[in-house]
């Protein structure tokens, strides 16, 4: 990465809107004027997931391809399992250029760009194919551009977490009535809190690194995550029941500090973008495979799985749309729901 001694200067200028970038390791101005000097160094990449997870597979594909495209000049160092801080810290770190890259859920991004709360809306996408088509379209590009403009974080590719499902240690979930009074952890998103309260749960936001212990100690009864995450984190050790609610499709974009990206030569920027495009289908396929394999693994670990009728869940969360559509943007929501794919 660019020399750490320049991080403070870069971070201070980034949020002010004028980037006075050092000439170290080949830089560009904020407008992208190329110095022609190739970058040599290591880029740090923060992940909430563990090594070998589908996010890890995508990150590794990106790093390997970037190294190949730059003849080994640029290497990626991976920091798994929130080693550099939780997801919010990772996003904030990229925003001030103290963290180079990260793959996180979109949960913390709504604090920068309210439109990103659209990804917290329940039952927004009909299928993963619907989600991919939207994210890879002008809609995804516009959301990414707003995030970069506001927070100085560049979305390189819309990699994924996948569909989120509910687990708990109280009872099997077959209808929203079964969630009443269950102490449920949500991500740090008001939309998610409203969703789970609409479903009857006693919902509380909590930072990701605290969740396992909270479930283990009974502070929380319930959480929700994609199947692979549920398995990777070994939630089956502290949760007995899994309900395939598929209430939210969760992107997990691979992102880079725009200060770092703008400091690269045009050739190295192109290499970063090519490596991201290369990693995208690899990560998405790994996610799909993991969902199938890990569902069976959770059964083998003793979790009881229910597949509830989702119609009552969809009906119960309609007030969430009524409350949040004016803030997120009714046109954005409609364009996603009605997207032709």
CATH superfamily of domain region 163-250+292-337: Bacterial extracellular solute-binding protein, family 7 (3.40.190.170)
> What are the structure tokens assigned to 331, written together?
């046109």
Beta bridge mates, 41: 74
Q: Left (φ > 0), alpha (ψ -120 to 50) or beta: where does 200 sit? A: left
User: If you average pLDDT over residues 71-93, what whole number do you get?
Assistant: 95
Q: pLDDT at position 232, please?
A: 86
Phi, psi at 46, each rounded to 5°: -95, 135
Q: Residue 196 in contact with residue 186, Cβ under 8 Å? A: yes
End-to-end, the C-alpha distance of the chain in Å comes to: 39
37 falls in which pLDDT band (50, 70, 90)?
A: confident
Residue 196 backbone dihedrals phi, psi, to 5 degrees: -75, -30
Top-level class of domain 4-161+251-290: alpha beta
> Which pLDDT does position 321 carry in this prediction?
97
pLDDT of residue 111: 87
Q: Is 72 exposed, middle or buried (0-12, 13-18, 19+ CB in 10 A)?
A: exposed
Place of tokens 């569902």: 295
Question: Which DSSP state fits 303?
Answer: -
* Residues 200-237 as b or e (16 or more Cβ within 10 Å = b): bbebeebbbeebbebbeeeebbbbbbbbbbbbbbebbe
Residue 4 burial (CB count, 10 A): 8
CATH 3.40.190.170 in the chain: give the residue spans.
4-161+251-290, 163-250+292-337
Cut 0.85: pTM above it: no
Instruction: Tell me the average pLDDT across 162-174.
Output: 97
Backbone phi, psi, residue 163, to 5°: -70, 140
**Tens digit of each residue's pLDDT (9 = 90 or more) over 272-308:** 999 999 999 999 999 999 999 999 999 999 999 999 9
Q: How far apart, in whole angstroms, are the C-alpha atoms of residue 319 and residue 42?
A: 47
């Amino acid at each position: 990465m660019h020399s750490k001694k320049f991080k403070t200067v870069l971070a201070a200028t980034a949020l002010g809107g004028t980037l006075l970038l050092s000439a170290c390791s080949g830089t560009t101005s904020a407008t992208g004027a190329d110095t022609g000097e190739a970058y040599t160094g290591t880029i740090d990449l923060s992940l909430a997931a563990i090594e070998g997870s589908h996010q890890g597979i995508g990150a590794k594909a990106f790093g390997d391809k970037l190294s190949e495209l730059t003849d080994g000049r640029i290497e990626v160092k991976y920091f798994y399992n929130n080693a550099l801080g939780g997801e919010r810290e990772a996003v904030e770190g990229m925003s001030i250029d103290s963290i180079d890259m990260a793959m996180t859920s979109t949960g913390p991004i709504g604090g920068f760009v309210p439109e990103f709360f659209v990804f917290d809306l329940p039952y927004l996408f009909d299928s993963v194919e619907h989600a991919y088509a939207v994210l890879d379209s002008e809609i995804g590009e516009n959301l990414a551009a707003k995030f970069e403009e506001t927070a100085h974080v560049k979305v390189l590719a819309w990699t994924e977490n996948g569909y989120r499902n509910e687990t708990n240690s109280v009872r099997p979930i077959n209808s929203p009535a079964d969630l009443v009074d269950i102490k449920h952890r949500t991500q740090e998103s008001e939309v998610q809190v409203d969703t789970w309260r609409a479903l009857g749960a006693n919902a509380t936001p909590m930072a990701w690194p605290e969740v396992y212990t909270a479930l283990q100690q009974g502070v929380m009864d319930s959480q929700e995550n994609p199947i692979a995450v549920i398995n990777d984190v070994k939630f089956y050790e502290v949760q007995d029941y899994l309900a395939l609610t598929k209430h939210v499709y969760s992107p997990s974009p691979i992102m880079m500090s725009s200060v770092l990206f703008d400091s690269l030569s045009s050739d190295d920027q192109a290499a970063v973008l090519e490596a991201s495009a290369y990693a995208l289908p690899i990560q998405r396929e790994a996610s799909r495979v993991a969902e199938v394999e890990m569902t069976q693994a959770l059964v083998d670990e003793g979790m009881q799985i229910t597949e509830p009728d989702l119609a009552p869940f969809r009906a119960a969360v309609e007030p969430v749309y009524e409350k949040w559509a004016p803030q997120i943007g009714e046109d954005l929501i409609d364009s996603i729901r009605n997207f032709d794919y």
